[in-house]
């Protein structure tokens, strides 16, 4: 009998088929629940669930009134966990987000009062209406899952996800997100206007009362932690890893971009691809998984050059051309 392979031979074990069935069942429940509220946007809903399972943060950008906050709340209500909503306004302070130490007259000691980020799901509404100083209060908690106030560090409970909405920067009273904060969002999606049939259906379902009131949780924090663990075990072959690095590397060398994708962007791209593969019932990542996610994961991190802006070249178009020029590895699935 051959000796059992060592951990060095097997690498990280891919999830069993039973685990993939668990992911599929949970994802189906979550998506169906959200789509009771969000009409005609299955791809946007799928992107939101992908970010959730990849342990990332989601930025929803679009004009007012297309359902950004509705999507955020629907995803949050689908999970039986702690949820906090922060309405970002110009007068919002960093301590409103992270928390503050308050002096207790009875005990003669300072006590920490947690801010809005102390929840499993944090809905940041119109995040770019707050000042850059307040926006930056999210930097540590989004990346390190912790908050530091007055030299004391407080851990945030898993799962932890920030779902932020923002209006286009050209609109009145908005501030552009700092590059460091945009880079912490795993993906950015746009709702877009609904098709005619979906808008008519919305008139029927939303006219009397908000369908959010009828939305019940279909999973809980413990199951989400389990699903994230399954996704983390999805196998990524060396050729697929090199393919992801080649794509982000191409953005750093492009003459049409002054800011390319960071190493964090590469990590987010691979983690999102692992979630997409698990949702598709596979325990390995295909190059197509990576390629399909380049738009949502990378576009918001890139900055066009002056020449590209003057000629009207959009960042999305530049990225699409760069991705098309990167050779796709063949036979790189579970290899």
3-state secondary structure of 192: coil
pLDDT 10s digits, 268-296 = 999 999 999 999 999 999 999 999 999 99
Kindly state the tokens that stand for 237.
């072959």
Q: Give Cβ neighbours of residue 28 (< 8 Å, ≥ 6 apart).
A: none
Q: Across the chain, what does the average pLDDT equal? A: 88
Q: Give Cβ neighbours of residue 320 (< 8 Å, ≥ 6 apart).
A: 295
Nearest residue to 42 via CA among 196, 168, 192:
192
Task: Tell me how far apart the alpha carbons of residues 4 and 63 are, in angstroms, rounded to a whole number.
Answer: 57
Q: What is the DSSP string of 77-118?
A: HTEES-EEEEE--TT--HHHHHEEEEEETTTTEEEEEE-TT-
pLDDT 10s digits, 30-62 = 999 999 888 888 999 999 999 999 999 999 988
Number of neighbouring beta carbons within 10 Å of residue 309: 14
pLDDT 10s digits, 188-210 = 999 888 777 877 777 777 666 67
Pair 14, 233: CB distance under 8 Å? yes
3-state secondary structure of 22: helix
How high is the pLDDT of residue 163? 92
- Whether the ω angle into residue 159 lies within 30 degrees of 0, i.e. cis, is yes
Taking CA 189 as the corner, what is the angle to CA 268 and CA 297, rounded to the nearest 5 degrees? 20
How is the chain split among helix, strand and coil, in percent rounded to 5?
A: 50, 15, 35
């Amino acid at each position: 009998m051959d000796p059992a392979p060592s951990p060095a031979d097997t690498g990280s074990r891919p999830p069993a088929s039973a685990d993939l069935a668990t992911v599929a069942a949970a994802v189906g429940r979550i998506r169906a629940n959200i789509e009771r509220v969000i009409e005609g946007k299955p791809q946007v809903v799928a992107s939101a669930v992908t970010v959730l399972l990849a342990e990332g943060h989601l930025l929803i950008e679009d004009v007012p009134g297309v359902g950004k906050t509705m999507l955020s709340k629907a995803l949050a209500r689908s999970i039986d966990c702690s949820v906090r909503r922060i309405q970002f306004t110009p007068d919002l302070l960093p301590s409103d987000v992270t928390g503050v130490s308050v002096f207790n007259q009875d005990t003669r000691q300072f006590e920490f009062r947690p801010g809005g980020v102390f929840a499993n799901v944090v809905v940041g509404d119109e995040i770019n209406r707050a000042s850059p100083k307040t926006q930056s209060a999210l930097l540590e908690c989004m990346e390190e899952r912790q908050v530091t106030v007055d030299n004391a560090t407080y851990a945030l409970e898993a799962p932890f996800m920030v779902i932020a909405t923002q209006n286009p920067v050209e609109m009145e009273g908005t501030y552009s997100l700092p590059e460091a904060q945009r880079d912490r969002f795993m993906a950015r999606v746009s709702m877009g206007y609904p098709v005619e049939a979906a808008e008519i259906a919305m008139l029927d379902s939303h006219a009397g009362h908000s369908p959010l009131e009828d939305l019940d949780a279909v999973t809980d924090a413990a199951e989400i932690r389990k699903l994230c663990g399954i996704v983390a075990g999805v196998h990524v072959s060396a050729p697929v890893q090199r393919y992801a690095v080649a794509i982000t590397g191409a953005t750093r060398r492009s003459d049409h971009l002054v800011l390319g994708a960071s190493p964090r962007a590469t990590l987010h791209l691979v983690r999102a691809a692992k979630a997409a593969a698990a949702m598709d019932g596979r325990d390995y990542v295909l190059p197509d998984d990576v390629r399909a996610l380049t738009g949502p994961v990378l576009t918001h991190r890139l900055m066009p050059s002056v020449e590209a802006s003057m000629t009207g070249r959009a960042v999305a178009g530049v990225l699409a051309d760069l991705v098309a020029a990167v050779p796709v590895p063949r036979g790189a699935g579970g290899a």
